[in-house]
Structure 1
Amino acid sequence: MVSFDHREPGTPAATWTPFLDAVTPRPVDLADVAAVVVVAPHPDDETLGAGGLIATAADAGVPVHVVLVTLGEGSHPDSPTTTADELAAVRAGEFRDALVALHPDVTAGSLGVPDVGLREQPETLRDALVARLDATAEASGGRTLLVAPWQGDGHRDHRVAGEVAEAVASGRPEVDLVSYPIWAWHWDRPDAPAAPWDTAHALALSDDVLDRKRAALAAYRSQVLPLSPAPGDEAIVDERHAAHHLRDVEWFFGTAVRTPASSRSRESFDAHYARKPEGWDFDGSWYERRKRAVTLAALPRERYRSALEIGCATGVLTAALTERADDVLGTDIAAAPLDRARTRAPLARFLQAALPDDWPEGTWDLVVLSEVGYYLSDADLDRTVDRVLGSLADDGVLVACHWRHPDDEAVSSGDAVDARLAERWPRPALVRHVEEDFVLSVLPGPGVVAVARAEGLVR
């Protein structure tokens, strides 16, 4: 994720003007749109990024609904005069006033997710969007335009909101998705832009609509004006930031036409182990040791008959699994780490295999997928789930644990993998542990019951 400071001078709005004049965007066409749904991670995002679109659509009689994810109570963390709870109440009122300024017919709902907390509960937004889009489709039967933050905008809540919106929209042919930048105007540079301008969409704003957008932004007094003269109470969206958003054109990004990502290659793993024979610091890192302990503690049975570890690397977790299972098979796409794994875990069996294609024969009551899923393409991850379901005993479990921070070698993310596993798995997770660094899910077979029930402690 991009690191930036909104207090820095950043890129002036005027610097973007020659660049934007040279862009040939696709128009935002509302002609056959039956409804517009806007995702706002914080109060004012909807106005800054899509206020003109909201007003224009509502003027045309198109129903517009804004999904407010958080109340933005974390906008002034160092304020000596205003608490987070006070800010939440203030910003909720400003949000209502801003929507009225854009158009009185706009509706909204608030999800109450903590500010900068969407990564910990993306399902809250996902469920709300699914319900809203289902209701919209049933009511109108036409196309819905879903408007969300650009995933690369640089703010964690913006990224997750964009990812969730994209995931929800991807399976709905009646939904079109466009994304708006907020902070990218500040940190990005027109001479070397990171944003996907080849997918640009634009909406020209009438003078009346632009005036209403100005009025809506002015309603956010807690953001456009200092809370007080004290340090820590400075304006967040001062005039230099507002200038990016008060143009007579609103800019959006569409969905890029991309070739589906391939799974990470065997050659890249071979190169990694050539540089770092131990792969990752499995033994020395407290993060790795703690994560391994959490993974083992999450297993609902004390003992297993047969365990399969997908992507075992140098066998550190494999060795621990041999203390919990009668038979353990570790697989890895690369040959080099398996030599170390055989020494580290002499009681286990090992197989070089590119899964899911080289799936081993057998039935497993424990399958472990740790820090591997985000190296698989969407198609290969789906096929892996199918392979697990086809070879898992009724009393077996799939344990999936994944890093949640960026990985330059990954083709997706830990959160995306966890969401896809939950979507594809036929039963609810028995365990789901989420923290800032990793997400762990235990997905059960049909014969798995809770530990206390299995031990007869409850009936």
Structure 2
Amino acid sequence: MVSFDHRDPGTDESVWTDALRRDLPPLDLDVDHLIVVAAHPDDESLGAAGLLATAAARGIPIDLLVVTDGEGSHPGSPTHGPATLALLRRRELHDAARIVGLVGNPIFLGLPDGGTGEYRDAITAALRETLDAATGRRVLVLSPWRGDGHRDHRVVGEIVEQVCAARGVRSRAFPIWLWHWGGPDDVPWDRVERLALEPRSREVKTRALDAHRSQLEPLSGAPGDEATIHAGMRAHAERDAELFIAPESPATPAGSVGRQYFDDMYARHDDPWGFDSRWYEERKRSVLLAALPWRHYRSTLEAGCSTGALTVYLADRSDRVLAVDLAPAALERARTRLAGRENVELRLATLPDAWPEGEFDLVVLSEVAYYWAGVDLDRGLTAATASLSADGRLVACHWRHPVAEYPRSGDEVHAALAARPDLVRLVRHEEEDFVLEVYAHPGARSVAAESGLVP
């Protein structure tokens, strides 16, 4: 994340005027439906009010989802508490929405300002529901840019990209704070598209911005009530064009990460990922094991078992474990660790190509699926789902930070899982560093329901 202060003078608009003289491709607005997901009231006005006015004038239906009420805009205000600010900012957004030409009312999710990371499921569900209502139409989804330097913008931008990628829906992101803290070198120009604004759209945008008085003007003369958007920042929003950033293209390596990479890792390190030495890994294993819905399993498949650090615990809770890895060195270390465990079979195989035959009531994909490039991810998830018994459970756990050698991120893997119609999610545990989920076939019941505690 970028550290910045809205009170700083920031980058002068003249710097951007020079930078924006470059030739940029136009934004394609030939769509049947527009969905905007704003992290805060005023995001849509600052970043896309000209586009909204243009779309409304063309008769394009617009849905506006507002994730938070922006009640944290003045944390030190002596005159306006969070509840008062939330109500004020909702009223301002209603006014701005009418000015740009929205017919329907904005959809307010009312989630905590600054806390969107804890509510990814709620934001995802709201976007999916809105997309479902627009099924069969050519849809464009807009959101703040994930690289904007604001935590809420990053979270909302990530969710929009992931959901839209899984659904095959086009999405674009608009920067807001980038223009304040950044410079031309911070812009991914190869992915930027430009929407030229006609005079009427610019005039409408100006009036929509004016509606957000609580952000443009001081709430009072007292310290803590200063405007959050000063004249220099507003200048960035009053250009004759709006800029939108296309999602980064998925990594396209020659293929999935292969055996040579792992052979090199194990040749250079006894414990390459710190499975035995890091508290992070020990704790994560405990979280995974605690998330397993059943006390005991008949047959477990662990894909990518590595040195067997997790396999030991799966063996304690399974009649039979088949643990698979593509690296001989890893399996040798696993055999030493698991010596005497007669209910564990270790097998050398490259997944998803050589997916084991048989049926399992537990399939574990722990730190493995982000190695699968291209169609291999879908092949692997399809094979894993097909190998589940009727009452089986699939557990997936993946690191969320980018790794240059991995063709996918953990979030991309879990977005692909969430998009599968042949699975339903029973458990989701998300942290800044990893995400863990449990899936089953549709119709599966929760632990409490299976135990008779609830109907």
The alpha-carbon deviation at position 169 of structure 1 amounts to: 3.7
For 1:66, what is the secondary structure of its paired residue?
Answer: strand
1:409: Cα distance to partner?
4.2
Question: Could you tell me which amino acid in structure 1 is paired with residue 140 of structure 2?
Answer: L
Equivalence for 2:85 = 87
Q: Which amino acid aligns with 2:26?
A: P
* Contact map agreement 2:143 2:156 (CA 8 A) in 1: yes
SS of aligned partner of 2:51: helix
Q: Pick closer, same or farther for the CA change 1:273–1:241 going to 2, 3 Å.
A: farther
Q: Which amino acid aligns with 1:205?
A: L
Are 1:253 and 2:249 an aligned pair?
Answer: no
DSSP-derived class of the 2:52 partner: helix
Aligned letter for 2:14? A
**Are the counterparts in 1 of residues 163 and 415 from structure 2 also a CA contact under 8 Å?**
no
1:229–1:315 CA distance, 2 compared to 1 (3 A): farther
**Matching of residue 181 in structure 1 with residue 181 in structure 2:** no
Post-superposition offset of 1:319: 1.4
Structure 2, gaps ≥5 residues long: none
Does 2:110 match 1:112? yes
Structure 2: distance between partners of 1:163 and 1:185: 20
Instruction: Report the counterpart of residue 429 of structure 2 in structure 1.
Output: 433
Q: Which runs of 5+ in 1 are unaligned?
A: none
Deviations 1:18-73 (A, max 9, x none): 22102x2222354x433332221111110111011111222333333322122122
Corresponding residue for residue 47 of structure 1: 45
- Aligned equivalent of 2:195: 203
1:269-418 correspondence to structure 2 within 5 Å: 269-346=262-339, 347=341, 348-377=344-373, 379-418=375-414
Q: Distance in 1 between matches of 2:452 and 2:67?
A: 42
Going from structure 1 to structure 2, the CA distance change for 1:129 and 1:290 (only over 3 Å counts) comes to same
How far the C-alpha of 1:437 sits from its partner, in A, is 4.0
Aligned residue for 1:242?
234
Give the CA deviation at 1:251.
Answer: 1.1
The change in CA–CA distance for 1:146 and 1:450 in structure 2 (over 3 A counts) is closer
- Equivalenced residue count is 451
The C-alpha deviation readout for 1:277-305, integer Å capped at 9, x for no partner, is 31233344443323212211222222223
Name the structure 2 match of 1:26. Answer: 25
Distance 2:148 2:158 in 1: 12
Say whether 1:68 aligns with 2:63.
Answer: no
Of residues 144, 153, 156 in structure 1, which corresponds to 2:139? 144
Distance between the aligned counterparts of 1:387 and 1:432, measured in 2?
A: 22
Question: How much has 1:105 moved relative to structure 2?
Answer: 4.1
CA shift in 2, pair 1:133/1:392, >3 Å: closer
Report the TM-score, using the length of structure 1 for normalisation.
Answer: 0.85
Matches of 2:250 and 2:447 in 1, distance apart?
45
SS of residue in 2 equivalent to 1:355: coil
**Alignment partners' CA distance in 1, 2:362 and 2:110:** 37
TM-score w.r.t. the length of structure 2 is 0.86
Structure 2 residue 54 is matched with structure 1 residue 56? yes
Q: What do residues 332-388 of structure 1 show as CA deviations (whole Å, max 9, x unaligned)?
A: 343443333333332243334331113234432221112222332352222112212
- Residue 225 of structure 1, aligned match among 207, 212, 217: 217
The separation in 1 between residues aligned to 2:442 and 2:280, in whole angstroms, is: 32
CA RMSD of aligned residues (A): 3.1
Residues 11 and 187 in structure 1, CA contact (< 8 A), matched pair in contact too: yes
Tell me, in whole angstroms, the C-alpha distance in 2 between the residues paired with 1:446 and 1:205. Answer: 47
Q: Identity rate of aligned residues, in percent?
A: 51
Q: Structure 2 vs 1, CA of residues 333 and 155 (structure 1 numbering), >3 Å: closer, same or farther?
A: farther
Which residues of 2 match residues 158-173 of structure 1 at below 5 A?
A: 158-170=153-165
Q: What is the one-letter code of the residue matched to 1:25?
A: L
C-alpha distance in 1 between matches for 2:445 and 2:167? 35
Aligned partner of 1:181: which letter? P
State the shift of 1:250 in Å: 1.0
